[in-house]
Amino acid sequence: MENKPRVSIIIPTYNGEQYLFETLSSVYAQTFKDWQAVIVVDGSTDETLSRFEKSVFSEDSRFRIISQQNMGVSRARNVGLDLCESDYVAFLDHDDIWHPTKLERQFRFLEENRTFLACTCWYLTSKKVEGGYSHSKLFSYQSFDSMMGNWISFSGNGPALASSLLMRRNDDELRFSDEYNAIGDLDFISRLLLVGRVAVIKTPLMLYVQHKNQMHMRGNLISDYVNFYANIHESTVRQFRLNRKNLNAKVNAHLNLIRVVSSLSKKPNIRTCFRLIFSREIWNLTLLTLIVSMIRKRVAGYFARVRYGGMIKALWNT
């Protein structure tokens, strides 16, 4: 390209052949055309590279693909950041889908509102079905700061996925921590808020496509959470008025719930099931409160999808 693009899109992928090309199609369909996409193949052992070379995307100079040894999604995103040439950066996981107007709406907002460093958008949790996608929940929120406070304190939804983000490049160049993969989004966006303001486009411009191979379903969730909350920045604690004692109790309850779910998914014997379900070391008021909160969030997501059903149908034709 003779001139640098206005937006760079970083797309890390690991064995994502099954999902990647529909994701790339959603990039190709963007009404905003002044972008480059950097696809970082993170040690994949499938046919991603060969399929890309045979695809229509290889004929479009805006797509650039590189391959490296497997280093994890956070390092792959950082490699993409090093290769970016634009004033704005967007992230897109290899299995998420953008609405055709996502970049256009977010770019226009940031151009017209220079006091904001970045903006996100609402999104739908969806599953691939014959002929398109089926949507289960809408993650919607009015204030980004209050949503992040609820997310970090386990008190509310955590919809600030990297794939929903468009951010302005600045002197405080943020990078993803090599320490986290499963919760890299949470760590990155919590540090982003220490640098500048983040707005929200109150429209579902992204599909979070759920499937059994997702990072949070196989990643090092427990170790990531332990490290994140052990090293959480004191400025973040002050910004969201977090109570350390209450936060630690919620973290421990959340980790216990992950352990129980993980153990039960391995189909243990009946004795082990009873021990997990009735253990006083695991179950306490904090954990029960957390479970009620999770159920409430799930129900809220269903009702939000119904409430904004007209908007969703108009946008996604489903």
Q: Average per-residue pLDDT in the chain?
A: 88
Instruction: Out of 29, 60, 94, pick the residue that ends a domain.
Output: 94
Supply the range of the domain harboring residue 58: 1-94
Domain match, 117 and 229 both: yes
C-alpha–C-alpha distance, residues 93 and 161, integer Å: 9
Domain match, 7 and 142 both: no
Domain match, 194 and 273 both: yes
| For range 4-23, the mean pLDDT | 95
The strand pair at 88-91 and 166-168 is best described as antiparallel
Tokens of 155: 């008190």
Q: 3-class SS at 270? A: helix
Instruction: Out of 72, 94, 116, pick the residue that ends a domain.
Output: 94
Look up residue 75 and give its amino acid.
R
Instruction: Out of 62, 94, 126, pick the residue that ends a domain.
Output: 94
* pLDDT at res. 183: 84
Helix axis angle for 184-192 and 73-83, nearest 10°, is 50
* pLDDT at res. 171: 67
- Looking at the predicted structure, is the pLDDT value of residue 221 above 50? yes
Tell me the per-residue pLDDT of 54-63, one tens digit each, with 9 for 90 and over.
999 999 999 9
C-alpha–C-alpha distance, residues 233 and 238, integer Å: 9
* Reported pTM: 0.89
* pLDDT at res. 215: 53
| For range 161-187, the mean pLDDT | 87
Domain match, 287 and 178 both: yes
H/E element, 81: helix 73-83
39 closest CA partner among 103, 84, 87, 98? 84
Please give the tally of structural domains in the chain.
2
Tell me the per-residue pLDDT of 149-162, one tens digit each, with 9 for 90 and over.
888 887 755 556 89
Phi, psi for residue 112 in degrees, rounded to 5: -90, -10
Tell me the per-residue pLDDT of 96-114, one tens digit each, with 9 for 90 and over.
999 999 999 999 999 999 9
H/E element, 128: strand 116-129
Domain match, 194 and 276 both: yes
- Looking at the predicted structure, is the pLDDT value of residue 302 above 90? no
C-alpha–C-alpha distance, residues 206 and 179, integer Å: 27
Domain match, 28 and 123 both: no
Answer positive or negative: Cα dihedral of 283, 289, 291, 292: positive
* pLDDT at res. 28: 98
| Residue spans of alpha helices (H) in 113-220 | 144-152, 184-192, 215-218
Domain match, 90 and 132 both: no
Domain match, 160 and 250 both: yes
Tell me the per-residue pLDDT of 22-49, one tens digit each, with 9 for 90 and over.
999 999 999 999 999 999 999 999 999 9
Give the CATH number of the domain where residue 27 resides: 3.90.550.10
* pLDDT at res. 216: 47
C-alpha–C-alpha distance, residues 193 and 232, integer Å: 13
Domain match, 266 and 124 both: yes
* Contacts of 171 by beta carbon, 8 Å cutoff, 6+ apart: none
| For range 128-146, the mean pLDDT | 88
C-alpha–C-alpha distance, residues 124 and 144, integer Å: 17
Domain match, 215 and 315 both: yes
Report which of residues 268 and 144 the model is more confident about.
Answer: 144
Domain match, 3 and 114 both: no
| For range 122-133, the mean pLDDT | 90
* pLDDT at res. 217: 42
What does DSSP assign to residue 6? S
Distance (Å) of CA 85 to CA 37, 65, 113, 310, 318? 10, 15, 22, 38, 36
- Looking at the predicted structure, is the pLDDT value of residue 275 above 80? no
pLDDT bucket at 1, cuts 50 / 70 / 90: very low
Domain match, 283 and 162 both: yes
